Each structure stands twice: as structure tokens, then as C-alpha cells.
Structure 1
């Protein structure tokens, strides 16, 4: 049975494919854009890892070469485009990762790329995520209460206390986001991006 490309996709691979949803690019531009947008706070971005990821995505048929160019004495650069399979895979990966709470890096990348999905899809997936967070928060809350009742030393409960607090904070933040998504004050989707002077300047700088 052929392996589902979504299963083999890494968070960096998702972000590479998502970049190509914007425009055809060469790997050097991808690296510069990821760093300019501070996406390297979510994942480790090195030239070697990104070039290796691009090669893997090409072998999987998720992106394809569209040409090469050379600017002066610089090395030849290969430009890539997103295939239909790559476009579908980004959406499938985000749909799969967004409601899950057991993979922190995947969840953060999925949130960063959730704008590639329709608003209604994102709202439904975030409600699924909220249900999982609520259950986990209740489990930690009840576990803490039970442990304290039994006289478990407080010093061995600090990690559980932290996790309960983080879950509570995310639930409150998620409720706020869902409220914004239900209204009109949060533009959503690829077409909602403003093709501003700042964005064009950022792209131009990354192409140098």
C-alpha cells in the first residue's frame, strides 16, 4: 500500500509547501522568507535541512522544478512550483494537525498555516481542538485535586500545575479566537492578505 504523503510530511515540509502556495520560489528565497517572518521560532531552519526537505518533497511529487537561473557569479538557483498534490497535502496536513493536542510543534505550525483553510473548516477543527483541551484540562485539574487530598507533596506536582495552567490559558485564548472568527473583524483566507508595500519589499529582499 502506498504511503500517504501527509504521514511523511514534516512541519518544515508543510511550511515549504505553504510558501509555494504564495508564489514559485527557489530554496534560498524560502530560507530568507522563513527567517524574515520569524518562522524559525517554530521550527529549526538551516540551509541544509531546507534543501534536503525540498528534495524529498520533489521526489514525493509535491513540488516540481520550473526553471533555473544564474545571477552574476552566484550559484545557479532552481525555482520550484507547487503541484496539485502538494496543494492538497498542505490542506490535509493542517486539517489533521489542528485539532490534535499531543504534538506541540505540529499544532503551532498548523495554527500558523490555518489561513490556508476556509474559515468554516477552521472553526470546526478548532472546536474539536477545544473539546480535547477541555478534557485534558479536566483530567489535570481532577488529578491535582485528588493528589492534594491524598497529601502528595506539592514539590512533585509542579509540572502538573504548570500543564493545568497552560491548558486553562489556551482554552481562554481559543474561546477568544473563535469569537473573532464568528465575527467580521478577522479577515480570513489567502485572499484576505493585503499585497502591501511591506510584503512586496519582504519578497524582493528574500530574492536577493
Structure 2
């Protein structure tokens, strides 16, 4: 039997992370994701989200806790996060945060990294930094060798771009790690700077 983490999609991660905030129905999930502009990370459609919710329930990561029949609105099923779901989303973020082979998965892991404790995130990002530096050195040295061989510059532009992106990400990561090492950046699942705004978002999405 497959480990749930191996079948978890990026959309599934976002749904599980939402349910860490509290029980909610899929309609509220869609509205929150769009309000928070998480659709810049991946395409969010009602059909995809509802399908994801069904899969998560089937694998025991979430559970149905009730159906809302308020007024003339369509029935809305409310879901809660199970212990297995809570463990799985954290395990997925931990697995993907240091990896460098999937930009989409890393961006979602980074967006959900606030669900981990500061020390955990710092250690994982330092692991990622080491991998990025290794890749940057390989690209830089490869470019130098290619130029020395007289390789036409026009066939090297993609490698030049990747080398520049790797260098820029290391600089950005160093800045983030410095902030995490200080007291200036509040961090952790229960330490948001603007909790009132998130509460207001939840209330608006429930309508």
C-alpha cells in the first residue's frame, strides 16, 4: 500500500493546509484560495478541488463532519482534518522544502512552510541552500569550460539563465535565513502578524 505522501498532489497539500486552520466546506476552500491569490501557484477550478477533496477523504486524510442546508443554498459538506492528514501535510512540506528538482512543489512547500516550526524550516532551507550552491557551481564551471572550448554563445543562453537564477536564489535564501535567525520575523503555525485579517477572510468565504 502506498504511503499517502506519495499520492498527495499540490492541490491536496493546499486543501490539507487550509483545514489546519479549521473545518470548512469546499466552497469556502475555493474562495479562500482565490482571495489569498494562491491560484498564482497552480490552476484552481471547482472541479479539481472537489475531486481532490473526494480523494483525500477516500485515503483517510480528511473526514466529513456535517452537511449545511441553510436556506436556499446548495448543500455544503463540511470536512475536518484527520490526524493522518495533519501528519501527511507536514511530512510533504518537510520532504519538498529542501528539494531542487520541482519548482512548483517547492513554491507550494514554501507557501506552507509557516506550518512548520522555525528551527525545522531553517534546517531544511539550509539543506536546500547546499544543493543550490552545488548546482550553481556546476553550471558556472560548465559555462566557463564551454566558452573555453569555443562553444557558440547562442546555444548557451539557457544555461546562462539557469546559472543566474541559481545565484539569485542563493542570495535570496541567505536573506531569508538571516531573517529566520533573528527575532524580527515572527514564525510558526500560531504566530501570524495579521490574525484578524485571516479571521475576516474566513468569515467572508463562508458566506
1:199 aligns with 2:179: no
Q: Which residue of 2 aligns with 1:107?
A: 106
What TM-score, normalized by structure 2, do the two folds share? 0.98
Matches within 5 A, 1:33-182: 33-182=32-181
How far off is 1:194 after superposition?
4.2
Q: Is the 8 A contact 2:68 2:76 kept in 1?
A: yes
Q: After TM superposition, what 4+ stretches of structure 1 lie above 3 angstroms from structure 2? A: 194-197
Unaligned runs of 5+ in 1: none
How far off is 1:198 after superposition?
2.4
Deviations 1:18-71 (A, max 9, x none): 000001000000000000000000011000000000000000000000100122
Q: Distance in 1 between matches of 2:129 and 2:119?
A: 15
Q: Distance in 1 between matches of 2:130 and 2:87?
A: 26
Q: Distance in 2 between matches of 1:118 and 1:197?
A: 21
Q: Distance in 1 between matches of 2:194 and 2:137?
A: 43
Q: Distance in 2 between matches of 1:196 and 1:89?
A: 25
Q: Distance in 1 between matches of 2:46 and 2:68?
A: 19
Q: Distance in 1 between matches of 2:135 and 2:143?
A: 12
Q: Is the 8 A contact 2:117 2:189 kept in 1?
A: no
Q: Distance in 2 between matches of 1:195 and 1:187?
A: 11
Deviations 1:63-122 (A, max 9, x none): 000100122211100000000000000110001000000000000000000111111111
What TM-score, normalized by structure 1, do the two folds share? 0.97
Q: Distance in 1 between matches of 2:112 and 2:196?
A: 22
Q: Is the 8 A contact 2:15 2:53 kept in 1?
A: yes
How far off is 1:178 after superposition?
0.5
